[in-house]
Amino acid sequence: MKKCTAFFFSIIGLILVFACYGCAGDQTFTARRYVPESEVQSIVIDVSDREVEVCASDSEEIVISYYESEKEYYDISVSEGGELSMRLSLDRDWTDYVGTKPAQEYRKIKVEIPDRLLSGLTVKTTNESIHVSPLSGVASVSLESNGGNVEFEKLFVSESLTVTAKNGNILGSVVGGWDDFSISCEIKKGESNLPENKTGGDKTLAASCNNGDIQIDFVEE
């Protein structure tokens, strides 16, 4: 019995040691600002455990603001075809996963886009939400969150809008009328104000939500 008790407390002790190690080994995050030097035609943000905010830029430049550490950093590049991609890279030991996550302020990305036409904007994240402020310079937009909400306001697209959420809600408004869009909607374990299918319209709107609600309104500029 004494051996079992001693073994039990040894295990508990090891757990506490590793937990304290994960908490004590906090990373040092540094604020970064990225401005592409070459022409950008489209943007792809593909990250995890990060909140992403997209808004209109006050200047003529695309600006990405974020935090990174020696163990959590981003690969950012612009291809020859003009695609700006941003992806999260992790260089962590298994003990770094024990304990708390970095503070919320370090797990946020802000993307500022000038009011000029881009062919596409794609944002994917997990366990956090996506927020898009009024935007009018993108032809096609794709927003996807697994474990968070997708929210957008007065979003203007000239071609298509695709929105996907799992374990979160889709809440937003698009500039245009009901007749401007062909609509397809798939929802599980939630409610939606959109029809499953609607034909007609020069633009497309596709929404998919699992374990959450969909509320997308059509508004004027």
pLDDT tens per residue across all 221 residues of the chain: 545 444 444 444 444 433 333 333 478 999 999 999 999 999 999 999 999 999 999 888 999 999 999 999 999 999 999 999 999 998 855 445 445 678 999 999 999 999 888 999 999 999 999 999 999 989 999 999 999 999 999 999 999 999 999 999 999 999 999 999 999 999 999 999 999 999 999 999 999 999 999 999 999 87
81: its two tokens: 């075809």
- pLDDT score for 189: 95
Q: What angle do CA 148, 153, 154 make, to 5 degrees?
A: 150
3-state class (DSSP) for residue 46? strand
Q: Which of 149, 97, 157 is nearest to 126 (CA)?
A: 149
Do the Cβ atoms of 47 and 87 come closer than 8 Å? yes
Q: What local confidence, expressed as pLDDT, does residue 74 receive?
A: 97
Structural domains of the chain, count: 1
Its domain, for residue 137, covers 2-219
**What is residue 93's predicted lDDT score, i.e. its pLDDT?**
54
